C-alpha cells in the first residue's frame, strides 16, 4: 500500500470499486455537521448547507460512476441523541445519493469485533484507521501498512455478516 502521499479526501476521489466504512462510536458530534446537529436537537428544519453538503456530491459522483460506498454502524439501543440525528438525518440524506448503510445492533447480541476501530477500506487494499477523542472529535486518519490489511478485511466481513440493511432496521427501531 502506497498511501503516504494521499489524504483521506484523495481516496474518496481515487478509489476504483468500493469504499467501506466501519463506524463504532455513539457520538461524532464534534466532527462535522455541528450546526445541523444543533438544529436537530432544537427541532428545527435541516439547514440547507447540510442538505446540499459536499459529502452528498462526493457520494453521488462515486455512485454515478459505478463505484460502491457503504458502511456498517455498530450500535446499541436506546440511541444516543447523536445517533438519532445521524441515522434520521444523515443516513437518510446520504441514501438519496446512493450510499448504502447497514446496522449491526449489539443490544441483544455480542459485538463480533469489539476491538475494531473506525476505519475506511478502499478497494480492499487500502486501510485508513480513524482516531477520535472521547467527545466525538475527529483527530485524524492513519494509513496502515499492507500487513494490517487482512485484519481489517476480517472486521468488514464479520460486520457485514451480522448487519442488517439500514432501511429494514430503521423500520423496526427508528425513532
Show the cell assigned to 113. Answer: 469485533
What pLDDT sits at residue 29? 87
pTM: 0.94
Are 15 and 67 contacting, i.e. CB atoms less than 8 angstroms apart?
A: yes
Q: What does the domain layout of the chain look like in residue ranges?
A: 8-173
The Cα–Cα gap between 137 and 134 comes to 7
Alpha-carbon distances, residue 170 vs 18, 88, 92, 166, 173 (angstroms) = 24, 9, 10, 6, 5
The Cα–Cα gap between 49 and 147 comes to 40
Residue-wise pLDDT tens for the chain (175 aa)? 444 578 999 999 999 999 999 999 999 988 888 899 999 999 999 999 999 999 999 999 999 999 999 999 999 999 999 999 999 999 999 999 999 999 999 999 999 999 999 999 999 999 999 999 988 899 999 999 999 999 999 999 999 999 999 999 999 998 6
What pLDDT sits at residue 24? 96
Alpha-carbon distances, residue 54 vs 1, 12, 22, 36, 127 (angstroms) = 27, 12, 20, 14, 22
Alpha-carbon distances, residue 143 vs 117, 123, 130, 140, 168 (angstroms) = 13, 14, 9, 10, 33
Are 32 and 82 contacting, i.e. CB atoms less than 8 angstroms apart?
A: no
What pLDDT sits at residue 33? 86
User: Which class is domain 8-173?
Assistant: alpha beta
What pLDDT sits at residue 134? 86
Between strands 68-75 and 18-23, the pairing is: parallel
Are 88 and 174 contacting, i.e. CB atoms less than 8 angstroms apart?
A: yes
Amino acid at each position: 500500500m502506497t498511501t503516504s502521499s494521499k489524504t483521506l479526501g484523495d481516496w474518496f476521489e481515487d478509489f476504483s470499486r468500493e469504499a467501506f466504512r466501519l463506524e463504532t462510536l455513539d457520538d461524532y458530534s464534534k466532527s462535522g455537521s455541528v450546526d445541523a446537529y444543533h438544529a436537530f436537537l432544537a427541532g428545527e428544519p435541516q439547514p440547507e448547507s447540510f442538505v446540499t453538503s459536499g459529502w452528498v456530491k462526493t457520494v453521488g459522483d462515486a455512485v454515478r460512476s459505478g463505484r460502491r460506498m457503504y458502511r456498517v454502524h455498530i450500535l446499541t439501543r436506546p440511541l444516543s441523541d447523536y445517533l438519532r440525528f445521524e441515522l434520521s438525518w444523515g443516513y437518510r440524506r446520504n441514501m438519496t445519493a446512493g450510499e448504502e448503510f447497514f446496522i449491526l445492533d449489539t443490544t441483544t447480541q455480542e459485538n463480533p469485533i469489539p476491538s475494531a476501530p473506525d476505519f475506511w477500506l478502499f478497494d480492499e487494499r487500502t486501510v485508513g484507521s480513524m482516531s477520535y477523542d472521547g467527545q466525538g472529535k475527529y483527530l485524524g486518519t492513519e494509513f496502515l501498512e499492507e500487513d494490517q490489511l487482512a485484519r481489517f478485511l476480517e472486521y468488514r466481513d464479520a460486520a457485514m455478516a451480522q448487519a442488517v440493511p439500514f432501511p429494514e432496521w430503521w423500520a423496526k427501531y427508528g425513532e
